[in-house]
Amino acid sequence: MKLCRFNDNRLGLVEGDHLLDVTSVLDALPAYKYPLPRTDQLIENLDMLRPKILEAAKTAKKVPLAGVTFLPPVANPGKVVAAPVNYQAHYDEAEFDPEIRHGKEIVKIQTIGLFLKATSSIVGASHGVELVHLDRRNDHEIELVAIIGKPARNVKKENALDYVASYCIGLDMTVRGAEERSMRKSIDTFTVLGPWMVTADEIGDPHDLDLVLTVNGQPRQSNNTKNLIIKLRELIEWASIYYTLQPGDVFMTGTPDGVGPVVPGDVIDARIDRIGSMQVKVRARKV
Ligand code: MN
Q: Sketch the domain layout of the chain as residue ranges.
A: 2-71, 80-284
The alpha carbon of 174 and the centre of ligand 1 are apart by a number of angstroms equal to 8
Question: DSSP character for 277?
Answer: E
Q: What is the pLDDT of residue 90?
A: 86
The alpha carbon of 214 and the centre of ligand 1 are apart by a number of angstroms equal to 16
Q: What is the pLDDT of residue 281?
A: 98
The alpha carbon of 171 and the centre of ligand 1 are apart by a number of angstroms equal to 8
Cis upstream peptide for 35 (omega within 30°): yes
Q: What is the pLDDT of residue 216?
A: 98
Residue 167's identity, in one-letter code, is: Y
Is the full-model pTM beyond 0.75?
A: yes
Q: What is the pLDDT of residue 102?
A: 84
The alpha carbon of 196 and the centre of ligand 1 are apart by a number of angstroms equal to 20
The answer for residues whose C-beta is within 8 angstroms of residue 67's C-beta and 6 or more apart is none
The alpha carbon of 170 and the centre of ligand 1 are apart by a number of angstroms equal to 9
Q: What is the pLDDT of residue 287?
A: 82
The alpha carbon of 188 and the centre of ligand 1 are apart by a number of angstroms equal to 16
Integer Cα distance of 8 and 69 in angstroms: 9
Integer Cα distance of 158 and 237 in angstroms: 9
Residues of the chain scoring pLDDT < 50:
none
Select from 262, 279, 131 the least CA-distant residue to 212.
279
Of the options 3.30.70.141, 2.30.30.370, 2.60.15.10, 3.30.1360.120, the CATH number for the domain spanning 2-71: 2.30.30.370
Integer Cα distance of 20 and 8 in angstroms: 15
Q: How far is the first Cα of the chain from the last one, in angstroms, to the nearest whole number? A: 40
Q: What is the pLDDT of residue 253?
A: 97
Q: What is the pLDDT of residue 203?
A: 97
Q: What is the pLDDT of residue 100?
A: 86
215 three-class SS: strand
Using the Cα atoms of residue 194, residue 231, residue 109 and residue 163 in order, give the sign of their dihedral.
Answer: positive
The alpha carbon of 254 and the centre of ligand 1 are apart by a number of angstroms equal to 5
Q: What is the pLDDT of residue 101?
A: 85
The alpha carbon of 27 and the centre of ligand 1 are apart by a number of angstroms equal to 36
The alpha carbon of 252 and the centre of ligand 1 are apart by a number of angstroms equal to 7
E strand or H helix at 221: strand 218-224
Q: What is the pLDDT of residue 256?
A: 96
The alpha carbon of 143 and the centre of ligand 1 are apart by a number of angstroms equal to 7
The alpha carbon of 117 and the centre of ligand 1 are apart by a number of angstroms equal to 10
Q: What is the pLDDT of residue 20?
A: 98
Q: Does residue 62 contact residue 181 with C-beta atoms inside 8 Å?
A: no
Select from 138, 163, 186, 170 the least CA-distant residue to 275.
170
Q: What is the pLDDT of residue 185?
A: 98
The alpha carbon of 199 and the centre of ligand 1 are apart by a number of angstroms equal to 22
80-284 CATH: 3.90.850.10
